[in-house]
């Protein structure tokens, strides 16, 4: 039963992305193009979508974390790290560059696959390769360039 509820939640989320225009890379790129503000080409509508998402998430976290455990799980899996390291800086930077170049982020890219666009397919394939590469890098030793002892 829980898998059906989770599927329904994902379906509503995907539908919301499509209705908001987040699966249209041109709309996203017009939002990110701040240089178009003077010419009137800037599209601020996604700022409202993002603000709404932040508000819903903020309220949702406040309500959900009052529970002793999640409805569909044994325990909450919340981050415990508080420091800022290279991964915390590099991950969002890579995400932002990808979003700015392609006009897609992961959720909307998957919803855009339903329209059969080659751009969405290319983005999702590149994203999956990037995810595999990130997982591989994370499994490597901490040092990228091991120091060879001099004898």
Nearest-Å Rg of the Cα atoms of the chain is 20
* 33-61 confidence digits (pLDDT tens): 888 888 888 888 889 988 998 999 999 99
pLDDT band for 151, please (50, 70, 90 cuts).
Answer: low
pLDDT of residue 62: 92
3-class DSSP string for 9-52: HHHHHHHHHHHHCCCCHHHHHHHHCHHHCCCCCCCCHHHHHHHH
Q: Where are the domains of the chain?
A: 2-139
Tell me the mean pLDDT in the region 58-84: 88
pLDDT band for 148, please (50, 70, 90 cuts).
Answer: low
CA distance 8 to 17: 14
The pLDDT mean for the chain works out to 85
pLDDT band for 17, please (50, 70, 90 cuts).
Answer: confident
Does the pLDDT value for residue 134 go beyond 60?
yes
């Amino acid at each position: 039963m829980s898998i059906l509820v989770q599927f329904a939640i994902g379906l509503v989320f995907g539908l919301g992305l499509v209705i908001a225009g987040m699966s249209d890379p041109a709309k996203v790129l017009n939002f990110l193009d701040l240089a178009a503000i003077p010419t009137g080409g800037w599209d601020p509508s996604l700022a409202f979508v993002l603000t709404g998402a932040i508000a819903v998430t903020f309220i949702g976290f406040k309500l959900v974390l009052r529970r002793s455990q999640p409805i569909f799980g044994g325990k909450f899996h919340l981050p415990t790290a508080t420091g800022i390291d290279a991964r915390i800086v590099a991950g969002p930077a890579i995400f932002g560059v990808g979003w700015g170049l392609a006009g897609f982020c992961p959720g909307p890219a998957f919803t855009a696959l339903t329209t059969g666009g080659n751009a969405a397919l290319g983005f999702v394939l590149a994203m999956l390769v990037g995810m595999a590469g990130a997982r591989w890098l994370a499994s490597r030793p901490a040092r990228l360039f091991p120091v060879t002892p001099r004898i």
